[in-house]
Structure 1
Amino acid sequence: MSVWPHMNKSSYLQPICRVLTVLAISTGLVACGDNSLFSKDDEKILQEKQIKRLIPPHASNRESWAKDMSDIMDELKIEKSKQNVCTIVAIIDQESNFVANPRVPGLGKKAVAEVNTRLQEKFTDKLGETLGTPIAGYFEKVLKTQPSPENSYLKQLGKVKTEQDVDVLYRQIFDYMSKHYHVSALTGAAKLVGQDIGERMNPVTTLGSMQVLVRYAQDHQKDRMNVNELRDYLYTQYGGMYYGIHRLMMYKADYDKPIYRFADYNSGMYSSRNASVQKALNTLTDSELSLDGDLLLYDKNENVQSAQSSTELAISKLFAQNGVIITARQLRSDLKEEKTQNFEKTQTYLTIAKLYQQKTEKEMPYAVMPQVVISGPKLSRDYNTNWYASRVNGRYETCMHRAKRLKES
């Protein structure tokens, strides 16, 4: 969840692995080595009742979770191998303990504290000084006086128990504002406070049992819904799992260990692979790049910024020192592929890998753990991606241990 968030083996695989990857039905953990999808112990396609046995005993209504998981994997054409099922089970258990709309301890108190300390900052940050300042002032007034002083939105906010409570309350507030607030006297311009601003200012940005970004679900909608309908769907057991499984499994990466996919789920697709590129650049240059998995700079809407990142500057310097001919335009074009598997085919990626091998006499590792801080009001302290991925990986290994005890049926 994000309630006013502060932010938001190794080496190249052998050709045979590439062939197996193409042939694999799974879009999930396809890799060579000990975790191969094709090891003899894991050839079996799990049935619904077997999936149920891989779900932790503490989960309520395991049959229902197993049925939905099985149906979704069929819908998305994801092979129901032990590894793929345990990958999904581990993330759901980490994010929600198999509760579609989990309660968050102390959420009301934290939500009110965020409003009291960071309200104007958030509005001006999202909307700019000119528009953000007057709307923040009006929002605060509405929060304290509507729908009545005795049962104000602020008092209701202090009683919320779940993300959905916060989400629905903010939608009600902005719905009220859209009907009563149209013109900002400070800007002298007509400013309709509609769903677009309400969506931008809604502090709940990740929803459901697998904590999926609303924006991701919007980009991959299977049915036509407006944003409020989509938010409601994400709070359902099936909807939260559908988009969470889509986000977790529907991209190919040659990770030899599932922990890197778990890291990606927290810090972004291909963050583990991209962090390896950054680490290689630190070896090849005098740079001290953060291993955050972002090779370019992005704004709050995840649009690429025109300014060069430290990673882009380091690559330009490396290529110049080694006589690599590439235009700034081509380099930028290559780096824009960083959220896709195609980045591995670009001149930039292949050249960095070649220079790394020449200097170290070793192949560039395919992935390393990204170093990204996780912070937010619902956390008692800051954590990092390694902490998150390690926790999920522990759940994955527990699930795989249960899978070993599955009997033929």
Structure 2
Amino acid sequence: MLVGCSSMPSAPAGPVADVARADIARRIPTRVDDRAGWAADIQTALAAQQLPANPENICAVLAVIEQESGYRANPEVPDLPRIARGEIDRRAAALHVPKLLVDTGLKMKASDGRSYGERLARVRSERDLSELYEEIIGRVPMGQRLFAGKNPVQTGGAMQVGIAFAQANAQDYPYPVTRSIRDEVFTRRGGVYFGTAHLLGYQTPYTQKVHRFADYNAGRYASRNAAFQAAVARLTGTPLALDGDLLVPDAPIDKPGQTERAVRSLAPQLGLDERAIRRALAQSDSLEFSDSPLHSQVFALADARAGTTLPRAVIPGIRLDSPKITRELTTEWFANRVDTRYRQCLQR
């Protein structure tokens, strides 16, 4: 009875699973519909990924769900038709596609007999929009041109997890996939599973959960990397964006990004040449960077300069940029909001 209609655990529930589900359900706010169903999906996600169903993990997942969707598997997005049409017009303008051609394409009949324009005017959720884009890309020549065969909806579900992340981490997905991993993300079970993987499925050097929540928004190890940037900035006097991006992707060795260039200015003190620095920075999306000579030596110099031990994790200074956001928000705002919910959950 604890299993919701969308949930089919890969193994029969036993006493341990029952206890975990009961604890999860107890920590979900009483206003939430189908608390038992949510608990079943969360417990299955933790068990399938061999993550302990302890209060810390449970509350971390619940806090992100509450922040990202308010316990809605497929949350509605305010003003989504206008946002979606704006994205189409932006892409058309960038490709010099006349507005008349766009309007003509949207007048074509969709699979349900309505025009694509009519369907676009009635989308309410990212799932609705994703399905519409898939059909436009597959059936309308203009769709291929505007979207280059790639669906613009790149996040979704109860935990607003990345579609690309889900597709790359679906090898142990415990449920039957009836259509695609993209579709699974928009189900409660899929959104919870892949969101849990993104949040908890990697080791960190953090001592505070708020930095993991910041990473959920800014990218894995962004908080550690931002602290490294802060240390480099202190040593070099170079103003650096504390965004967690240490290496510009595919940058030629003779055209480094700002952070890499600042680190290279410390080469004589570090005893590392530019290629050794590049190799170390290439580890910045993994735990190994924390144990690299570059990381250790930069902090040794920075700690000595400061006369104290500097933080090894800093919330990245990133302004959230999405057409769904109608006010100025930051990664710090997100991380602190989730952390507050996390602490409230632990007290329940």
Report the 3-state secondary structure (helix = DSSP H, G, I; strand = E; otherwise coil) of the residue aligned with 2:148. helix
* In 2: Cα distance, 1:209 partner to 1:60 partner: 14
Question: Residues 317-328 of structure 1: matches in 2 within 5 Å?
Answer: 317-320=265-268, 322=269, 324-328=270-274
| Residue number among 40, 43, 49 corresponding to 2:22 in the alignment | 49
Distance change in 2, residues 1:140/1:119 (3 Å):
farther
Contact 1:110–1:377, Cα closer than 8 Å, also in 2: yes
Contact 1:273–1:293, Cα closer than 8 Å, also in 2: yes
* In 2: Cα distance, 1:193 partner to 1:135 partner: 15
Question: Residues 7-406 of structure 1: matches in 2 within 5 Å?
Answer: 47-116=20-89, 118-121=90-93, 124=94, 132-133=95-96, 141-147=104-110, 151-177=114-140, 193=144, 197-199=148-150, 202-222=151-171, 229-298=180-249, 304-306=250-252, 307-320=255-268, 322=269, 324-402=270-348
Q: Match for 1:262: what amino acid?
A: F
Distance change in 2, residues 1:285/1:364 (3 Å):
same
- Give the TM-score, by structure 1 length: 0.74
1:285, CA displacement in angstroms? 1.2
* In 2: Cα distance, 1:137 partner to 1:198 partner: 21
Q: Match for 1:230: what amino acid?
A: I
1:141, CA displacement in angstroms? 3.6
Report the 3-state secondary structure (helix = DSSP H, G, I; strand = E; otherwise coil) of the residue aligned with 1:51. helix
1:165, CA displacement in angstroms? 0.7
Identity %: 33
| CA offsets 1:261-306 (integer angstroms, 9 cap, x no match) | 11000000011111101111121111110110110123xxxxx433
* In 2: Cα distance, 1:342 partner to 1:329 partner: 17
* In 1: Cα distance, 2:203 partner to 2:92 partner: 41
* In 2: Cα distance, 1:207 partner to 1:391 partner: 19
Contact 1:297–1:308, Cα closer than 8 Å, also in 2: yes
* In 1: Cα distance, 2:271 partner to 2:28 partner: 53
Contact 1:104–1:162, Cα closer than 8 Å, also in 2: yes
Contact 1:296–1:309, Cα closer than 8 Å, also in 2: yes
* In 1: Cα distance, 2:256 partner to 2:289 partner: 18
* In 1: Cα distance, 2:178 partner to 2:38 partner: 25
Contact 2:73–2:186, Cα closer than 8 Å, also in 1: yes
Q: Match for 2:237: what amino acid?
A: D
Report the 3-state secondary structure (helix = DSSP H, G, I; strand = E; otherwise coil) of the residue aligned with 1:380. coil
1:145, CA displacement in angstroms? 3.7
Contact 2:267–2:273, Cα closer than 8 Å, also in 1: no
- Give the TM-score, by structure 2 length: 0.86
Distance change in 2, residues 1:314/1:217 (3 Å):
same
Moved more, 230-239 or 220-229: 220-229
* In 1: Cα distance, 2:110 partner to 2:311 partner: 58
CA RMSD of aligned residues (A): 2.7
Q: Match for 1:373: what amino acid?
A: R
* In 2: Cα distance, 1:341 partner to 1:136 partner: 48
Distance change in 2, residues 1:164/1:394 (3 Å):
same
Distance change in 2, residues 1:220/1:137 (3 Å):
farther
Matched residues, number: 326
Structure 2 unaligned segments of length 5 or more: list them.
Answer: 1-17
